[in-house]
Each structure stands twice: as C-alpha cells, then as structure tokens.
C-alpha cells in the first residue's frame, strides 16, 4: 500500500449522509436481540421515550458540529481540551471502540454461524469480516462514509417484509396487552439501558466533523435519522410481540431472525439467509468506520500524530484488533454466561458514551466560551 | 503498479466471496448426490419408552424407495443411525411434515417440539399431523402403489392451509408452539386415520399443554372449523334435517360478564342451502324460518356440548381466556382462568342468515 492519506479531506458530505450515518450506526446488532430482553408490551413506550432522550443528545451533538473547532478535527479537540487531555481521552476511547467493535462483530459472526454456517468456527468468520472491513477502511474516511449509502440501501428494505406480521392471522391486538406497566422489575432497568445503548452510535459523529457539511439544518437531518431508528425499533418490537407473544419472547435468543425464517417464497426457501447476508453490509460499514477511528485514536494516544497515515499502520491495527477479538471470542463469547458479561459491559459502555460524550463536549464548550462558527 | 494493485484487490475480493459463499473447505458438504433431504419424519412409540422414527429413503433420486425405521431413545440419535445405515447423509432442510402417532401424543410431545424449534435448518412452517394406526405398515403397503405418497400428502395439507380453505385443521410448527407457550391457550392438531383405502381425515385432536386428551370428529369438528380455525366451511351437512349448507362464513362475538361467571358466545352465520331432501316447503318463508330456528337450536345444542367437553377437559383451544385481557390491567394467571373457565356458564347463540334454495323443488305448489 502506498503512502496515501487515510484521513485526507477532499469533499464534504451533506445532511443526507449525516442522517444515514446516525440511522445505520444505531441499527447495528442490538436490534436483533432487543425483543428478547424487552419482552413486555409496555416497553414500546420506553423505546419511544428513550428515542426522545436520544433526540436531546443529538441536539447537543449538533451544537458541537456547528462550531468551527469541530471541522478542525484533531486540532479542534486540542484547542478545547489541551494536548495531554486529548491523548488521555483517546486512550480511554480505544477501549470503548474495541468493546463495541468486538460485541457487534462477535455477535454477528455467532448469528451467521448459527443460521448459515453451523460447522464453521466463528474465528474464521471474524477474520473474513475484518478482511472486508480492512479493504473498505483502507480506502479512507471519505469512501467509508460514502459506503453508508450502499449499506443503507442493502438493509433498509428488509423492514418492509415485517409488515406481514401486522396482519391476521398472526396479528392480534390482545398480544399487546397490558399497555402500561403493572410492576417495574429489576430486569426492566437492564432493558432500559439496552435501549439507551442501542441508540448509541451517533456520538462517533463528533469525530467526523471535518467531513460533514454543517448548517442550520444539521440538527434536522440528525433528528430524521434518529426518528427513523425509533420507528424501526418500535415496528420490529411490535412485530415480534405479535409473532411470538410476550411469554415466548424471553425464551428465544434471536427473535428477529427467527421471524425472518417464517417468510416463505416459492423461489428462495431460506430468505433469512439472504437477509442476513445483506445485513453484513451494514456491519462492514460500521466496523470499517470504527477501524478508522481506532487507528486515528491510537495514533493520538501514542503521540504519533506527526507521522503520515499508512496502510501498514492500519493493517497492524486491524491485526491487533483481530487478535483481541479472537481472545475475547475464546475467553468470553463462546460461553453463554461470560458472553452475558460482555454484553452487559457493552450495554453500560454504550449508554455511558452516548450520554456523556455530547454532554461533556457541550459543557466544555460553554466553559471555554466557544461560539458557533460564523458560517451559519 | 496501480493496475497491479487493482488486480490484487479484485483477487482478494474474489477469494473472499468464494470462501463465504459456501465453497469454503470448513463448511458442511451439501453435495446433492451425497445427501438425502428427507421430506417427513414419522414418530411413534417404540419399546421401553423408546421412539420409533421412520421415513422414506432415498427421498429424491429415482431409485427404489424404502421405508426405514429406527428405534432410538433420542430423536436426533435417529439421524445418526440413518447415516450409519445408508450411503447418503440425511438432511433436515427440506422437511415438510412431522407425523406423530396418537399414542405418543397422549404421552406429551413437548420434547419433540423443542428439538424441532432449536434446529435452524427445520422450517417453522412444517406441518404437524397426528395419525391413528401403524404408519410404517401403511407406508410400506403404499410405496408400490404411489411412490410420491409423501409429496401428495404434503400438497393436500398445503392446499387447505392457504387462504383458510375451511375443510380440515392444518397446523404448522409455529402455530402449535404459539398455542403451546401462550397463556390461555391450548394447541390442537389434525388427526388422520389409516384405513385400507387411504389416509382419512378424522378430526381435530385437542391438547392439554402438550398432551393429547381428546379427538373431536364429524359435526363437532365442523363446528370447530367454523368457530375457531377458518371461520369458513365449504359444506356443512346436517343429516338431522336432511340439509346441506354451503359456503358458510361465520363471525364470532364473545362477551364475558364482569364477574367472569357467564359467557355469551354468539355465532353469526351467513350461508345458503345447497341441498335439501326433506319434506318441508322451503319456498314458504314461514317454513324456512321454522327450519332456520330448528337448525339454530340444533347447532346451539351441539356447540354447547362441545364447550362442555372442553370445560371438563380443562382445555381452551379457542383461546377464550384472551378475552379477559385488558389494555390497562394486570392479566390474570392462567390457572385462575382455567378454574373460572371450568365453572363458567356458557350461553351459545346462533344467528343464521340463510339464502333459500333458488331452483325449483319438485313439490313446489301453485305452479
């Protein structure tokens, strides 16, 4: 690989891309297992409520994106926090990114193993997924961001299939009763944080400031993306309630995919396999973006900002991540109990990062007195 | 140099697509000549609590077909035994039916259902069927006459499942599981009886949880189709009045009073007379009205007996308990519902909206 710049900035992406980025980063892995943890019909309201909360977060986020500092990338952050602090923060960020990367990749490869390639070792699948992602990430940030368009069009249409479950004989209104919680259990808090964590993802847009065109409409586009996610979550959750019923939901590990298995088509019998394969586009997009962020963060954390980016550097990062993932897979993911630990960790980490990142940035902005850029 | 890189990239992509598309060396081998994707499994009771699993092999190729059966203690152990005995490997991917003997049904089939549910290869759309009689023997006798017996049986079930054709009960794995695991409901399955002339539909088997407790047949089964399954019947013969009702559509209104002691079950029926061999002058509106009243009373009585049977057996295949669910209150426990259901006073009411026979009756007066 040549000495090209992974992080160069040639063009700026408009609001539509921001919307798709928000939406696709929120629809990664958790939505596939979500109904299994939400279970009760009244969680529909929690889904919507947390969606509105996420809207507030996006408001804070858009405030940051509107400043001139955000479009300066690394230098902008240094101006805000100071060099040492940025190094420290990006060091912590490495763990967050690694955790998120691992959970979504391992989760997905386990699903692929369960439903498509039962005799394949998940480590192989992780290897291939990372190989794809390395290829995409190697094209640079711009191409990766543009890849969201492909990812969106490869995955969004799937949800229309699930309309099938909203009609009789499967649909029955009484499956959605009771609509209000009669008691609030401890598990419901887990569900609450799971939802919060599922909405996380857009906080990574903080670092994509240089590539996003920001103006008055930025917040609107971010909200569209978020609203689309809320609609998708609620839609899928109601569909799974109608199909499985509240009682059975807690017993089934991958509700959404099992629902896809019920589709029938005279040409393809296993539609779920095709849908899963398309869903991989979304995974590849997200993982590639996170790989680039990881690479960037590691450069900052180890003080190598002056050196130019290179394919080799990225490769070595990907290699490190691969080893990390294989270890996590062997040590945690393969046994159900420890996998739960990792999932819970990501649920908490996702919630924290989504909640804190925009908040802290806006607070620091206020303290430093950073104003919106003149261009607005 | 650039060209070189491009080619290199494409080769990598090609390599990855091939690997991921199933040609990879580390996946299962599904070469069509080497596998036998079975279309059905028949499970019955074997000796000493074992299961007897049988199927037709080979299912696809134009070789002589054989009925193979194995006695195993675990369902999936059967697969292994088949593989050791037969040159092709058995695969579940194309399975369409599961035939369960009624004796096994009486013992409970939860474990079998769970095996099917856990295997992602087995579609949730496979049909479950209860058979009375020795299915193995029947298959063996049938193979000479009709090689594709299994396929035609499957087509029959599929025909009646689609669009609720309303003749027989057809239940697939998902529906069975749904009824089994949802509170206030009990599953049911179609029952076929093996006789010398073929497989005859007998009626519907009612389950209490996963155990078969009762088979309803003839008029009871017709009523069951009408009020629960399809809400439609092609023909409904009522021999008592020498009449056949055709294209019967029904609408059900269930009303439970607030103390859960009385239930009014109203069946509104739209139909027309298709055949009549009795003595009454059905062109006379009064006679028709009388006839209608008689039929309503007769059906009410029959339905009431059917409900009584369900109450006695403590089964609720009609999912009546769901009527007690309210959007803003805590649902009652299933046990409590069953207790209430047992004691509940059930009033059945039929409203028949009938179109008379339009063509001439031989005894029509004044012509």
Do B26 and A124 count as a contact with CB atoms less than 8 A apart? yes
Average pLDDT over residues B359-364: 50
**Would you say B109 and B180 are in contact if contact means Cβ atoms under 8 Å apart?**
no
Share of residues in chain B with pLDDT > 70 (%): 92
Do B325 and A245 count as a contact with CB atoms less than 8 A apart? no
Choose the weakest-confidence range: A41-45, A126-130, A335-339. Answer: A335-339
Average pLDDT over residues B73-91: 85
Higher pLDDT, B98 or A73: B98
Residue to substitute from A174, A246, A266, interface B, most B β-carbons within 10 A: A174
Task: Render pLDDT for A78-96 as a digit per residue (tens, 0 to 9).
Answer: 888 888 999 999 999 999 9
**Would you say B125 and A265 are in contact if contact means Cβ atoms under 8 Å apart?**
no
Tokens 């004989």 sit at which residue?
A169
Which chain A residue's Cα is nearest to B95? Answer: A269
Do B181 and A245 count as a contact with CB atoms less than 8 A apart? yes
Q: Structure tokens of A316?
A: 């070595």
Q: Return the pLDDT at B9.
A: 80
Q: DSSP character for A370?
A: P
pLDDT band at A375 (very low <50, low <70, confident <90, very high): very low
Query: Alpha helices of B62-101 — where are they, by DSSP H?
Result: 75-85
Q: Which residues on chain B are in Cβ contact (under 8 Å) with A245?
A: 178, 181-182
Which chain A residue's Cα is nearest to B178? Answer: A244
Say if residue B122's pLDDT is above 70: yes
Task: Render pLDDT for A158-196 as a digit per residue (tens, 0 to 9).
Answer: 999 999 999 888 888 888 888 888 888 888 899 999 999
Q: CB-based contact (8 Å) between A244 and chain B?
A: yes
Do A177 and B16 count as a contact with CB atoms less than 8 A apart? no
CA B128 to chain A, closest CA, distance in angstroms equals 16
CA A365 to chain B, closest CA, distance in angstroms equals 44
Beta-bridge partner residues of B211: B208
Q: Compute the distance between CA of residue A240 and CA of residue A250 in angstroms, rounded to an integer.
A: 11
Nearest to B29 by CA among B94, B115, B88: B88
Do B325 and A178 count as a contact with CB atoms less than 8 A apart? yes
Q: Which residues on chain A are in Cβ contact (under 8 Å) with B183?
A: 247
pLDDT band at B62 (very low <50, low <70, confident <90, very high): confident
Q: Structure tokens of A41?
A: 């019909």
Using CB atoms, which residue from B27, B125, B181 is nearest to A120?
Answer: B27
Say if residue B26's pLDDT is above 80: no
How crowded is the C-beta side of A312, counted as CA atoms within 13 Å? 4
Q: Which residues on chain B are in Cβ contact (under 8 Å) with A269?
A: 93, 123
Do A178 and B326 count as a contact with CB atoms less than 8 A apart? yes
CA B2 to chain A, closest CA, distance in angstroms equals 10
Do A248 and B182 count as a contact with CB atoms less than 8 A apart? yes
The CATH H-level (homologous superfamily) assignment of domain B231-367 is: Nutrient germinant receptor protein C, domain 3 (3.30.300.210)
Do B330 and A178 count as a contact with CB atoms less than 8 A apart? yes
Return the CATH number of the domain spanning residue range A24-368. Answer: 1.20.1740
Share of residues in chain A with pLDDT > 70 (%): 97
For residue B119, which phi and psi values (nearest 5 degrees)?
Answer: -85, 115
Contacting residues for B141 by C-beta, under 8 A, at least 6 apart: none
Domain ranges of chain A: 24-368
Q: In what order do the strands lie in the sheet with B262-276?
A: B232-238, B243-256, B262-276, B345-355
Do B326 and A177 count as a contact with CB atoms less than 8 A apart? yes
Q: Return the pLDDT at B18.
A: 64
Using CB atoms, which residue from A128, A178, A182 is nearest to B16?
Answer: A128
Say if residue A214's pLDDT is above 90: no
Pairs of CB atoms within 8 A across A/B: 69
CA B18 to chain A, closest CA, distance in angstroms equals 11
CA B104 to chain A, closest CA, distance in angstroms equals 25
Q: Return the pLDDT at A374.
A: 43
How crowded is the C-beta side of B167, counted as CA atoms within 13 Å? 12
For residue B175, which phi and psi values (nearest 5 degrees)?
Answer: -65, -40
Say if residue B359's pLDDT is above 70: no
Q: Return the pLDDT at B367.
A: 45
CA B299 to chain A, closest CA, distance in angstroms equals 26
Q: Which residues on chain A are in Cβ contact (under 8 Å) with B174?
A: 262
Which chain A residue's Cα is nearest to B121? Answer: A115
Top mean-pLDDT range of B235-249, B299-313, B328-342, B349-363: B299-313
Domain ranges of chain B: 29-216, 231-367
Which chain A residue's Cα is nearest to B22? Answer: A117
Task: Render pLDDT for A256-286 as a digit per residue (tens, 0 to 9).
Answer: 999 999 998 888 888 888 999 999 999 999 9
Task: Render pLDDT for B146-205 as a digit per residue (tens, 0 to 9).
Answer: 778 888 899 999 988 877 667 788 999 999 999 999 888 899 999 999 988 788 999 999
**Mean pLDDT rounded to a whole number for chain A:** 89
pLDDT band at A154 (very low <50, low <70, confident <90, very high): very high
Q: CB-based contact (8 Å) between A119 and chain B?
A: yes
Q: Return the pLDDT at B362.
A: 46
Q: Return the pLDDT at A376.
A: 38
Interface of B with A (CB under 8 A): 9, 12-13, 16, 19-20, 22, 24, 26-28, 93, 120, 123-125, 174, 177-178, 181-183, 322-323, 325-331
**Mean pLDDT rounded to a whole number for chain B:** 85
Q: Structure tokens of A149?
A: 């368009």
CA A171 to chain B, closest CA, distance in angstroms equals 12
CA B4 to chain A, closest CA, distance in angstroms equals 11
Share of residues in chain B with pLDDT > 90 (%): 34
Choose the weakest-confidence range: A223-227, B24-28, B166-170, B331-335. Answer: B24-28
Query: Alpha helices of chain A — where are they, by DSSP H?
Result: 15-26, 30-38, 43-66, 74-81, 83-115, 122-137, 141-155, 158-161, 186-199, 218-244, 246-249, 255-260, 271-301, 311-328, 336-368
Task: Render pLDDT for A347-374 as a digit per residue (tens, 0 to 9).
Answer: 999 999 999 999 999 999 888 887 665 4
Q: Report the sign of the C-alpha dihedral through residues A193, A196, A198, A203, in that order.
A: negative
Using CB atoms, which residue from B9, B20, B325 is nearest to A177?
Answer: B325
Q: Return the pLDDT at A4.
A: 57
Average pLDDT over residues A49-76: 89
Share of residues in chain A with pLDDT > 90 (%): 58
Say if residue B7's pLDDT is above 80: yes
Q: DSSP character for B126?
A: -
């Amino acid at each position: 690989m040549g000495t090209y710049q992974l992080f160069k900035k040639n063009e700026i992406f408009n609001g539509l891309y921001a919307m798709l980025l928000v939406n696709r980063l929120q629809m990664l892995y958790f939505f596939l297992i979500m109904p299994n943890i939400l279970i009760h019909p009244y969680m529909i309201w929690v889904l919507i409520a947390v969606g509105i909360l996420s809207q507030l977060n996006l408001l804070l986020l858009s405030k940051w994106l509107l400043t001139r500092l955000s479009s300066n990338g690394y230098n902008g952050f240094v101006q805000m926090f100071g060099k040492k602090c940025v190094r420290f923060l990006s060091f912590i960020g490495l763990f967050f990114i690694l955790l998120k990367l691992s959970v979504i990749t391992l989760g997905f490869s386990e699903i692929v193993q369960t439903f498509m390639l039962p005799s394949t070792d998940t480590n192989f699948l992780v290897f291939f997924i990372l190989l794809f992602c390395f290829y995409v990430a190697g094209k640079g940030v711009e191409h990766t961001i543009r890849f969201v368009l492909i990812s969106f069009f490869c995955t969004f249409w799937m949800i229309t299939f699930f309309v099938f479950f909203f009609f009789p004989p499967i649909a029955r209104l009484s499956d959605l009763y009771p609509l209000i919680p009669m008691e609030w259990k401890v598990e419901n808090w887990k569900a609450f944080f799971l939802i919060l964590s599922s909405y996380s993802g857009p906080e990574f847009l903080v670092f994509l400031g240089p590539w996003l065109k920001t103006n008055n409409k930025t917040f609107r586009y971010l909200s569209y993306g978020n609203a689309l996610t809320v609609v998708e979550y609620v839609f899928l959750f109601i569909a799974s309630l109608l199909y499985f019923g509240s009682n059975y939901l807690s017993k089934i590990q991958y509700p959404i995919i099992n629902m896809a298995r019920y589709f029938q088509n005279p040409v393809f019998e296993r539609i779920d396999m095709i849908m899963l394969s398309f869903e991989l586009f979304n995974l590849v997009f997200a993982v590639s973006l996170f790989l680039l962020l990881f690479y960037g963060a590691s450069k900052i954390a180890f003080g190598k900002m002056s050196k130019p980016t290179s394919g080799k550097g990225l490769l070595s990062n990907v290699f490190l991540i691969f080893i990390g993932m294989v270890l996590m897979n062997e040590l945690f993911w393969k046994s159900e109990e420890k996998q739960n630990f990792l999932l819970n960790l990501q649920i908490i980490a996702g919630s924290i990062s989504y909640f804190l990142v925009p908040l802290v940035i806006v607070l620091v902005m206020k303290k430093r007195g950073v104003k919106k850029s003149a261009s607005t | 140099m650039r060209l070189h890189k491009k080619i290199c990239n494409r080769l990598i992509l090609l390599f990855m697509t091939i690997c991921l598309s199933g040609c990879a060396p580390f996946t299962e081998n599904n070469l069509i000549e080497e596998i036998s994707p079975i279309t059905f499994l028949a499970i019955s009771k074997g000796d000493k609590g074992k299961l007897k699993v049988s199927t037709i092999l080979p299912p696809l190729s134009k070789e002589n077909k054989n009925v193979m059966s194995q006695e195993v203690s675990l369902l999936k152990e059967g697969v292994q035994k088949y593989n050791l005995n037969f040159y092709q490997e058995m695969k579940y991917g194309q399975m369409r039916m599961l035939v369960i003997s009624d004796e096994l049904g009486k013992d409970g089939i939860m474990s079998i259902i769970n095996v099917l549910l856990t295997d992602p290869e087995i579609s949730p759309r496979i049909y479950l069927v209860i058979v009375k009689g020795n299915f193995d023997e029947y298959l063996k006798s049938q193979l000479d006459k009709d090689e594709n017996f299994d396929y035609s049986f499957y087509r029959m079930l599929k025909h009646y499942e689609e669009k609720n054709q309303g003749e027989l009960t057809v239940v697939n794995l998902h529906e069975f599981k749904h009824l089994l695991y949802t509170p206030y409901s009990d599953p049911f399955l179609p029952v076929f009886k093996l006789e010398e002339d073929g497989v005859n539909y007998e009626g519907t088997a009612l389950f209490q949880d996963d155990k078969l407790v009762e088979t309803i047949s003839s008029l009871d089964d017709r009523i069951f189709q009408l009020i629960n399954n399809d809400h439609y019947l092609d023909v409904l013969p009522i021999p008592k009045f020498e009449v056949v009702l055709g294209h019967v559509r029904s609408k059900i209104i269930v009303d439970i009073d607030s103390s859960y002691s009385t239930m009014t079950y109203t069946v509104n029926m739209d139909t027309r007379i298709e055949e009549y061999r009795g003595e009454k002058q059905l062109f006379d509106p009064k006679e028709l009205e009388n006839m209608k009243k008689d039929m309503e009373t007769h059906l009410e009585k029959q339905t009431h007996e059917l409900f009584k049977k369900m109450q006695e057996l403590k089964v609720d295949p009609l999912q009546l308990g769901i009527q007690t669910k309210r959007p803003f209150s805590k649902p009652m426990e299933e046990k409590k519902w069953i207790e209430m259901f047992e004691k509940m006073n059930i009033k059945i009411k039929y409203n028949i909206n009938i179109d008379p026979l339009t063509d001439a009756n031989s005894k029509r007066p004044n012509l």
